[in-house]
């Protein structure tokens, strides 16, 4: 198969982003500001972990280990997720803004993958986009209502935007496979996806009276796609695998 | 995950039953006797409203507090299958709280007031959640046996007289039956797994047996009799009846997995057809319900933390011109 290495790299990025983001989302269960948010984050967490399972399954079909092994028995250095998804959930303002940035970015990418030349990815993207639409809708609704609700809500979200935006750009960190994937029609370049994402979120933020900050160059949050991660990822993996490591060969 | 008025509190708060309009009261009781449901806009005696609010509220609190011991294991669940299932289960529990708070709100108490009463200790929740989930196997035992106990309560209570509560319970029971299957499947895997997995499960059962025996509340002979509540179909079965039903359905299944129940006196009396067992420590039950259990402080502290950290969100979402809770009668 042509472009195999590039394709696997893309699938790892997709799967790892969704797994770690879903894991983080699930940490809100029991801690949300209103019950409806516990439920919403739980629901989105399930969807995302579910998507990661689908991408790991594609990888397995391409010769990689089975999904449980890839997800639960790999060291941080082998993960390809963006540093953005590794960050702890912090307060609700950060988590909500991350959810807004992440889901619009994921949706932009998945929409593009609906035209991918790799048919299995295309089929999966068609399936996922039907749900991801609602993740975006939830993010937009909450961000707009809170930011326009009162001054305090607006200033907390603005502060979260300032913190999260440079991190969010790590989702579009260029990789050595970008051009190859674009030329093969598998996935557009990171730069073009980022541009499209910005075109989608900017009017929404303006509508919510929020603005995007300047970003330092080079972006300090780049590195995840190459296996350079924050310590938070290692902590997360230690926790995620705490039970499975007790007896790695057992069936749980 | 829970729903029985295990402890009936008698107090003199509010309108006494003797002060109610006798004609309306007679009509109300006749409707219940005929098996009709009472709806929010219908007349009801103060005592009925008070006891129902207390029971539904206690049930709702149990759902959100109950999400905590299991919730902490979502991030550690071993493998995709368990991780996805546990997330879905705990999400359901929070969803049940949402349904139940809404059912209680139809009686005139707002969700905010109920949560306030939870935090200040005025309102209780199920005792079992004051025990820690020490290992992965504890979550399996909770999902199987605590949810099984809860289903027995809830199926019984769904035949009660208050329409909104019954309808909420029917939906809750449908979801709980999936939890039970998930819990049982997890227990089966541990029971048929490696020696250390089996030991983990047995240890968890040993830890949880007392809370399980406490689950349906103090024995009938020492608990306050609620004849009036039985007549009004607020309470539908006695604590002992429900405990017997639980033992009947689940002791054989526990034994089938090769587990040992930590009570040498547990057996079914062939003459009476009833289970006999060592009474669990009811002083411990009272101590824990009154705040002195292994996790009471931690559970409420987490809830309080979530409430306080989330206040700004609720304030930003609040539309002052809107009235959120309007008692219908």
pLDDT per residue as tens digits for the range B294-326? 999 999 999 999 999 999 999 999 987 776 666
Alpha helices, DSSP H only, in B109-216? Answer: 111-119, 136-141, 147-157, 163-191, 195-214
Helix (H) or strand (E) holding B271, with range, is none
In the three-class reduction of DSSP (H, G, I as helix; E, B as strand; rest coil), residue A93 is classed as helix
User: Rounded CA gap, B256 and A235, in Å?
Assistant: 39
Better-predicted residue by pLDDT, B203 or B235: B203
Judged by CB atoms closer than 8 Å, whether chains meet at B309 and A242 is answered as: no
Residue B61 to residue B302: CA distance in whole angstroms = 13
pLDDT recorded at residue B324: 62
- Which of these, A239, A233, A47, lies nearest to A133 by C-alpha position? A47
Q: For residue B291, name the pLDDT band (cuts at 50, 70, 90).
A: confident
ipTM strictly over 0.95? yes
Q: Is residue B197 part of a domain?
A: yes
Residue B6 lies in a domain: no
Whether B3 has a pLDDT exceeding 70, the answer reads no
Which residues from B are below 8 Å from A when comparing CB atoms? Answer: 64, 67-68, 71, 73-80, 82-84, 87-88, 90-91, 94-95, 97-98, 101, 136, 186, 189-190, 193-194, 196-197, 302, 305-306, 309-318
From the candidates A28, A33, A47, which should be mutated to test the interface with B, based on the most B CB atoms within 10 A?
Answer: A33
Q: Mean pLDDT, to the nearest integer, of A144-153?
A: 97
Whole-number Å distance between alpha carbons of A165 and A196: 15
Is A84:A229 a contact under the CB 8 Å cutoff? no
Residue B230 maps to a domain: yes
Q: Are B51 and B5 in contact (CB under 8 A)?
A: yes
Segment holding B239, helix H or strand E: helix B239-256
| Candidates B83, B194, B311; nearest CB to A250 | B194
Specify the higher pLDDT residue, A67 or B18: A67
For the domain that residue B166 is a member of, what is the CATH number? 1.20.1260.10
- By C-alpha distance, the chain B residue nearest A236 is B75
Domains of chain B: total? 1
Residues in Cβ contact with A90 at an 8 Å cutoff, skipping those fewer than 6 apart = none
**Lowest model confidence (mean pLDDT) among B230-239, B244-253, B273-282:** B230-239
* pLDDT for the residue numbered B119: 95
pLDDT of residue B326: 60
Of B67, B196, B316, the CB nearest to A150: B316
Give the pLDDT confidence score for residue B14 in this predicted structure.
Answer: 81
Stretch (H or E) spanning B267: strand B267-268
Upper half-sphere CA count for residue A72 (Cβ side, 13 Å):
26
Domain that includes residue B104, residue range: 17-317
Dihedral sign for Cα atoms in the order B123, B124, B130, B133: negative
Instruction: List helix spans (H) across B18-135.
Output: 22-33, 46-71, 80-105, 111-119
Candidates A38, A45, A236; nearest CB to B94: A38
In a domain, B329, yes or no: no
Q: How confident is the model at residue B6 (pLDDT cuts 50, 70, 90)?
A: low
Peptide bond into A218 cis (omega under 30): yes
Q: What is the pLDDT of residue A1?
A: 77
Residue B7 has pLDDT above 80, yes or no: no
Collect all residues of chain A within an 8 Å Cβ-Cβ radius of residue B312: 33, 152-153, 156
Question: How far is the C-alpha of B180 from the C-alpha of B183, rounded, in Å?
Answer: 5
Place of tokens 């047995």: B202
Mean pLDDT of B15-35: 94
In a domain, B264, yes or no: yes
Residue B2 forms part of a structural domain: no
**Where does chain A have alpha helices with state H?**
4-26, 35-61, 67-72, 83-86, 92-113, 119-149, 151-168, 178-183, 190-207, 231-240
**Among candidates A44, A39, A150, A205, which has minimal Cα distance to B313?**
A150
Q: Is the pLDDT of residue B328 over 70?
A: no
Residue whose C-alpha is closest to residue B103's, from B49, B147, B140: B49
Interface probe for A, chosen from B74, B78, B105, B186 (most Cβ of A below 10 Å), is: B78
Burial of B122 (0-12, 13-18, 19+ CB in 10 A): exposed
Cβ atoms A200, A106 nearer than 8 A: no
- Cβ of A53 under 8 Å from any chain B Cβ? yes
Cβ atoms of B41 and B106 closer than 8 Å:
no
Residue B242 maps to a domain: yes
pLDDT value of position B321 = 79
CATH topology of domain A4-246: Ferritin (1.20.1260)
For A81-111, write each residue's pLDDT tens digit: 999 999 999 999 999 999 999 999 999 999 9
How far, in Å, CA of B14 to CA of B322, rounded?
29
Helix (H) or strand (E) holding B276: strand B275-276
**Beta strands at B275-276 and B267-268: parallel, antiparallel or unpaired:** antiparallel
Q: What is the pLDDT of residue B5?
A: 57
Interface touch A29/B314, C-beta < 8 Å: no
Candidates A35, A36, A72: best to mutate against B (most CBs of B within 10 A) is: A35
Candidate from A42, A71, A150 with C-beta closest to B87: A42
Which residues does chain A have within 8 Å of residue B309's beta carbon, measured at their own beta carbons? 31, 33, 91-92
Q: Which residue has the tokens 């980022």?
A: A194
Q: Is the pLDDT of residue B1 over 60?
A: no
To the nearest whole angstrom, how far is the Cα of B79 from the nearest Cα of chain A?
A: 6
In this predicted structure, the answer to whether residue B8 has a pLDDT above a threshold of 80 is no
B84 and A91 within 8 Å at the Cβ level: the answer is: no
């Amino acid at each position: 198969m042509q472009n195999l290495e590039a394709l696997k790299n893309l699938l790892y990025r997709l799967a790892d982003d969704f797994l770690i983001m879903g894991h983080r989302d699930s940490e809100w269960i029991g801690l949300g500001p209103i019950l409806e948010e516990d439920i919403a984050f739980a629901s989105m967490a399930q969807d995302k972990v579910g998507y990661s399972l689908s991408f790991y399954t594609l990888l397995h079909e391409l010769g990689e280990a089975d999904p449980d092994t890839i997800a639960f028995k790999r060291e941080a250095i082998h993960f390809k997720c963006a540093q953005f998804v590794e960050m702890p959930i912090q307060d609700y303002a950060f988590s909500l803004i991350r959810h807004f940035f992440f889901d619009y970015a994921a949706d932009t990418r998945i929409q593009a993958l609906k035209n991918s030349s790799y048919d299995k990815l295309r089929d999966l993207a068609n399936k996922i986009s039907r749900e991801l639409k609602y993740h975006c809708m939830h993010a937009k609704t909450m961000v707009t209502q809170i930011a326009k609700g009162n001054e305090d809500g607006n200033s907390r979200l603005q502060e979260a935007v300032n913190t999260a935006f440079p991190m969010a750009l790590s989702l579009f960190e260029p990789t050595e496979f970008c051009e190859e994937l674009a030329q093969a029609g598998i996935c557009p370049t990171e730069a073009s996806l980022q541009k499209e994402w910005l075109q989608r979120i900017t009017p929404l933020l303006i509508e919510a009276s929020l603005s995007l900050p300047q970003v330092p160059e080079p972006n300090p949050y780049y590195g995840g796609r190459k296996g350079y991660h924050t310590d938070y990822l290692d902590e997360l993996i230690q926790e995620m695998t705490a039970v499975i490591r007790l007896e790695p060969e057992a069936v749980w | 995950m829970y729903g029985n008025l295990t402890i009936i509190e008698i107090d003199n708060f509010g309108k006494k039953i003797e002060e109610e309009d006798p004609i309306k009261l007679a009509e109300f009781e006749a409707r219940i006797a005929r098996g009709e449901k009472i709806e929010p806009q219908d007349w009801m005696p103060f005592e009925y409203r008070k006891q129902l609010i207390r029971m539904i509220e206690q049930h709702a609190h149990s759902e959100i507090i109950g999400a905590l011991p299991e919730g902490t294991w979502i991030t550690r669940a071993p493998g995709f299958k368990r991780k996805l299932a546990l997330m879905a289960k705990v999400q359901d529990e929070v969803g049940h709280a949402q349904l139940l708070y809404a059912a209680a709100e139809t009686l005139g108490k707002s969700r905010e007031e109920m949560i306030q009463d939870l935090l200040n200790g005025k309102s209780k929740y199920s005792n079992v959640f004051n025990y820690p989930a020490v290992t992965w196997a504890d979550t399996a035992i909770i999902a199987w046996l605590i949810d099984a106990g809860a289903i027995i309560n809830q199926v019984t209570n769904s035949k009660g007289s208050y329409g909104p509560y019954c309808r909420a319970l029917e939906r809750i029971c449908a979801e709980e039956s999936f939890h039970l299957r998930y819990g049982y499947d997890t227990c089966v895997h541990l029971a048929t797994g490696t020696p250390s997995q089996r030991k983990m499960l047995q240890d968890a059962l040993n830890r949880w047996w007392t809370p399980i025996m406490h689950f349906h509340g103090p024995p009938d002979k020492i608990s306050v009799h609620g004849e009036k509540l039985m007549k009004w179909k607020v309470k539908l079965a006695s604590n002992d009846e429900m405990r017997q039903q639980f033992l009947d359905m689940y002791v054989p299944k526990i034994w089938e997995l090769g587990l040992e129940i930590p009570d040498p006196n547990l057996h079914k009396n062939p003459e009476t057809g009833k289970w006999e067992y060592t009474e669990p420590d009811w002083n411990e039950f009272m101590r824990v319900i009154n705040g002195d259990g292994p996790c009471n402080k931690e559970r409420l502290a987490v809830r309080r933390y979530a409430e306080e950290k989330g206040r700004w969100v609720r304030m930003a979402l609040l539309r002052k011109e809107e009235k959120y809770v309007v008692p219908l009668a």
